[in-house]
Amino acid sequence: MTPTAKRILVTGASSGLGAALARRLAAPGVTLLLCARRCEPLEQIAAELRACGAEVIAEALDVSEITACSDWIDRMWQQGAIDLAILNAGIFGGRTPDGRAETPQAATEIITTNLIGAAAPALRLAELMRQRKAGQLVFISSLAAFGPLADAPSYSASKAGLTAFARALREDLLPEKVKVTIVHPGHVETRQTAQHVGPLPGMVSAERAADLILRAILSARSEYAFPFHLHLSLRGLALLPLRWQYRLNKAFRFTVRPTDPLD
């Protein structure tokens, strides 16, 4: 289940879903362009993927550093056009275990990383792909884009904003033959769910999530959300009065355990 793409970029590739996607994509003849904040685990993943026959170029990079990220994309493009870019990097945060709401500083970091850290590189990649009239951009959003989480408002906002941005970009790129796929996963077993203290309905492994996402990429779906029943439930919930939403959501409230940045 490997795309025909030969040069593939993945952000947030040092662990979790990003690493699982990179593993699925690694094959002889494929060049993987990987970035993440954490250098050591990124190099470990890179070594593993090279053993699978893939060429791997890995760089420690914070996607929220706009200039550095754009420079990296330009350098990678100079070595060959990028066929597929999976914008996966993200961080999670919310209400702390002692019941306090997230801080303004935490909110800024979450929105900057999850939204700006995907939108800015996407715009640079879109410009390059537009000139070539080929390529595919994949945005890893979240079901939280459809059902905002009271205990993680900034995370929810970042993913809702990302979905809106990607939809707008998709329409703009349609005449240019550049594909845009938006993925909305539910709970995926990663460091993010390890931070999440509370119910995790419908959780799937990172490997299962990677398989589902790659199917959506291969079929060039415009949007894909999973698990289906949770997506449907969130759509229905949004139609109810606020007080009903509050009562139904009460059973799923959670806190977020502090940890190091994800990628």
Active site residues: 155
| Rounded CA separation 97/167 (Å) | 35
- In terms of DSSP H, where are the helices of 34-103? 39-51, 66-78
User: How open is the CA angle 66-134-1, to the nearest 5 degrees?
Assistant: 95
Closest CA to 226 of 242, 205, 240: 205
Token pair in block for residue 127: 């410009």
| Rounded CA separation 159/67 (Å) | 22
Burial of 28 (0-12, 13-18, 19+ CB in 10 A): exposed
The DSSP 8-state label assigned to residue 169 in this structure reads: H
| Rounded CA separation 255/69 (Å) | 32
Helix (H), strand (E), coil (C) string for 106-126: HHHHHHHHHHHHHHHHHHHHH
